[in-house]
Structure 1
Amino acid sequence: MRVLLTGGSGFIAAHVLDILLERGHSVVTTVRSSSKGQKILDNHKSYNKDKLNFVIVEDIAKEGAFDDAVKSDPPFEAVVHTASPFHFNVTDVQKELLDPAVIGTTGILKSIKKSAPTVKRVVITSSFASIINPFKGTWPDHTYSEQDWNPITEQQATENPANGYRASKTFAERSAWDFIEQEKPNFTLATMCPPLVLGPIIHYLQSLDSLNTSNERIRDIIQGKAKDEIAPTGTFIWVDVRDLAMCHVLAMEKEDAANKRFFITAGYFSNKEIAEIIAKNFPEYKDKLPTSSTPGGDYPKEGLYKFNNERVIKTLGIKFRGLEESIVDAVKSLQSVGA
């Protein structure tokens, strides 16, 4: 298939790109600058311009931002949309989180409908943030699944950046499903809802400063920031970035994934477990790491919500990696950029 991949230099998208190319698809990826695009090409030298190229979309929140990007010769058959802001250092939640997420998502769908009639499947990266009910705490008697939607309101969204991030994912995904229902476009949709995404970074894109938010906890632990107290885990479920990337590609390829939402998680984890895995596999960090008696980072005493990930296992046929493999590979990839 010929595929448009948005946000190609992102943590998840970089893995999606590798899998798409390995599986024989031809890819055009959007980037914010030509230097980022060139970096991607330089690191995939065995693929010619017919197999891999890039197009610049500077601001995904601009009206019509993707109008030109969706046009291609030969034409696109699928779009994988991963580009969306994920960080908490914002001053204006509406302008920096909500607008780019919602306008970026509906904007690309409008552009596809208007200018790319050959596209048959669109896959969008959403988040567990659009599933979780943040007002219920650890909610031990509840099982989360694709049926759940975060009930956050417009008013709550602007109260703080954490609410703003969760709302941006919720509103963006809802707007995508509304678009499908109201506009009846020529393509079907699949949305990916992962919780915390861990695992190796693609080395040529990252420095330790520009690390994706999810992996920062691994960097902080190996840098000694958890020696006296381990930070609270926050979200207690996770998925490896390579498994999530494979789910994006399978959701694009498989007929059965049409118009489905996928809650993609491998299971539970805690920051304490991450520290233990690092201690076991990387003795060189011994002096910087917490010990078994260090407080913090554990599971909540009152118990934890359950999860149902049957749809993603059955429909996409994915087998999830374990936490130890993911953390070990993440640490090795951080070492390669100077951790």
Structure 2
Amino acid sequence: MKVFLSGGSGFIAAHVLDILLEHGHTVITSVRSQEKANKIKEAHPNTPASQLEFRIVKDIAQEGAFDEAIKIDGLEAVIHTASPFHFNVTDVKKDLLDPAIIGTTGILKAIKKNAPSVKRVVITSSFASIVNPSKGNSWTEHTYSEEDWNPITEEEAVLNPSNGYRASKTFAEKAAWEFVEKEKPNFTLSTMCPPLVIGPIVHYLNSLDSLNTSNQRTANLMTGKNKSEIPDTGTYIWIDVRDLALAHVKAIELPEAANKRFFITAGYFSNKEIAEIIRKNFPALEKELPAKDVKGGDYPKEGLYKE
């Protein structure tokens, strides 16, 4: 298939790109700059230019940002991964809510208007759009599934970056389903709702400072930043980025994935467990790790929600 992939230089998208190419698809990916496009080209030296093309989309929060980029003859599928995931923000609406919501609705509008040949759209959402934070981690009687929605309100969304991120994923995904319901486009929709995504980095990094947020916790443990106390785990379920990327690609390849919401998880984890895995497999890092008796980072004594 001919596939448009937004945000191709991102942590998840870079793996999606690799799998799309492995499966023989032609990929047109959007990036924010020519420099990012060049880095992706360098990472795929044996891929012919006809199988990997680029479109520059500088700001996905701008109305019409994807209008021109999506004008591609014979385009059959779109995978939209581009959305911010970080908490270093000064303006929750501008830095988190707008890019997620406007970026998502904007690409759907652009597809309907300028790419009528598209039949399948996949959007990266999050467990953040499923979880109910007000119930806490110890909601032991509840089993989360794709039927759950985060009940966060617009008023709560702007209170802090953590709320802002959860709201950005919730509102953007809801907006996508509402678009399909109201606009009745030619394409089907599938959404991916992963919890914490961890795994190997395949995209270009200028430095460890630009490491994606989910992998930052592992880097902090490895580099001595948590020697005195292991931080709270926060989200206790995870998925390997390679499995998540494959799920994205399968969602455009398998007809039965159409118009479904997928909650993808590999099970439970804790920051303390990550520390012990590093200790076991990388003994040279022992001096950087928290000592075995250091407090924090374990599972809640009261138990956890199910998934």
Match of residue 334 from structure 1: none
Find out whether 1:249 has 2:252 as its counterpart.
no
Match of residue 51 from structure 1: 51
Q: TM-score, normalised by structure 2?
A: 0.98
Match of residue 327 from structure 1: none
Q: Take 1:190 and 1:102, find their aligned partners in 2: how far apart are those partners?
A: 16
Match of residue 96 from structure 2: 97
Q: Take 1:36 and 1:205, find their aligned partners in 2: how far apart are those partners?
A: 10
Q: Take 2:90 and 2:289, find their aligned partners in 1: how far apart are those partners?
A: 34
Q: Take 1:150 and 1:158, find their aligned partners in 2: how far apart are those partners?
A: 15
Contact kept, 8 Å, 1:106 with 1:176, in 2: the verdict is yes
1:145-224 to structure 2, matched below 5 A, reads 145-202=145-202, 204-205=204-205, 207-224=207-224
Contact kept, 8 Å, 1:41 with 1:53, in 2: the verdict is no
Please report how far the alpha carbon of residue 53 of structure 1 lies from its aligned counterpart in structure 2 after TM superposition. 1.0
Contact kept, 8 Å, 2:143 with 2:305, in 1: the verdict is yes
Find out whether 1:26 has 2:38 as its counterpart.
no
Find out whether 1:7 has 2:18 as its counterpart.
no
Residue deviations 1:157-205, cap 9 Å, x none?
A: 0111100110000000000000000000000000000010001011534
Q: Please state whether the residue corresponding to 1:169 is helix, strand or coil.
A: helix
Match of residue 129 from structure 1: 128
Q: Take 1:118 and 1:205, find their aligned partners in 2: how far apart are those partners?
A: 35
- Aligned AA for 1:8? G
Please report how far the alpha carbon of residue 100 of structure 1 lies from its aligned counterpart in structure 2 after TM superposition. 1.1
Percent identity, aligned pairs only, is: 71
Please report how far the alpha carbon of residue 295 of structure 1 lies from its aligned counterpart in structure 2 after TM superposition. 0.6
Residue deviations 1:254-274, cap 9 Å, x none?
A: 100000000011000000000
Match of residue 67 from structure 2: 67
Q: TM-score, normalised by structure 1?
A: 0.89
Q: How many residues align?
A: 306
Contact kept, 8 Å, 1:88 with 1:162, in 2: the verdict is yes
Contact kept, 8 Å, 2:10 with 2:203, in 1: the verdict is no
Q: Take 1:280 and 1:264, find their aligned partners in 2: how far apart are those partners?
A: 27
Please report how far the alpha carbon of residue 292 of structure 1 lies from its aligned counterpart in structure 2 after TM superposition. 2.4
Q: Please state whether the residue corresponding to 1:38 is helix, strand or coil.
A: helix
Q: Take 1:300 and 1:261, find their aligned partners in 2: how far apart are those partners?
A: 29
Q: Take 2:65 and 2:229, find their aligned partners in 1: how far apart are those partners?
A: 45
Match of residue 232 from structure 2: 232
Q: Take 1:198 and 1:31, find their aligned partners in 2: how far apart are those partners?
A: 22
Contact kept, 8 Å, 2:190 with 2:257, in 1: the verdict is yes
Match of residue 110 from structure 2: 111
Please report how far the alpha carbon of residue 140 of structure 1 lies from its aligned counterpart in structure 2 after TM superposition. 1.1
Q: Take 1:72 and 1:115, find their aligned partners in 2: how far apart are those partners?
A: 8
Q: Please state whether the residue corresponding to 1:65 is helix, strand or coil.
A: coil
Match of residue 296 from structure 1: 296
- Aligned AA for 1:207? S
Contact kept, 8 Å, 2:205 with 2:211, in 1: the verdict is no
- Aligned AA for 1:115? N
Match of residue 314 from structure 1: none
Please report how far the alpha carbon of residue 206 of structure 1 lies from its aligned counterpart in structure 2 after TM superposition. 5.0
Q: Take 2:136 and 2:146, find their aligned partners in 1: how far apart are those partners?
A: 19
- Aligned AA for 1:77? E
Q: Take 1:97 and 1:190, find their aligned partners in 2: how far apart are those partners?
A: 22
Q: Take 1:204 and 1:193, find their aligned partners in 2: how far apart are those partners?
A: 25
- Aligned AA for 2:133? P
Find out whether 1:78 has 2:92 as its counterpart.
no
Residue deviations 1:94-116, cap 9 Å, x none?
A: 11111111100000000000010
- Aligned AA for 2:208? L
- Aligned AA for 2:34? S
Aligned Cα RMSD in Å? 0.8
Give runs of ≥4 in structure 1 deviating > 6 Å. Answer: none
Q: Take 1:116 and 1:153, find their aligned partners in 2: how far apart are those partners?
A: 33
Contact kept, 8 Å, 1:131 with 1:149, in 2: the verdict is yes
Q: Take 1:124 and 1:3, find their aligned partners in 2: how far apart are those partners?
A: 13
- Aligned AA for 1:123? V
Contact kept, 8 Å, 2:5 with 2:29, in 1: the verdict is yes
- Aligned AA for 1:120? K
Q: Please state whether the residue corresponding to 2:295 is helix, strand or coil.
A: coil
- Aligned AA for 2:178? D
Q: Please state whether the residue corresponding to 2:232 is helix, strand or coil.
A: coil
- Aligned AA for 2:126? S
Please report how far the alpha carbon of residue 291 of structure 1 lies from its aligned counterpart in structure 2 after TM superposition. 2.7
Q: 1:190 to 1:231 in 2, by over 3 A?
A: same
- Aligned AA for 2:175? S
Unaligned runs of 5+ in 1: 308-339
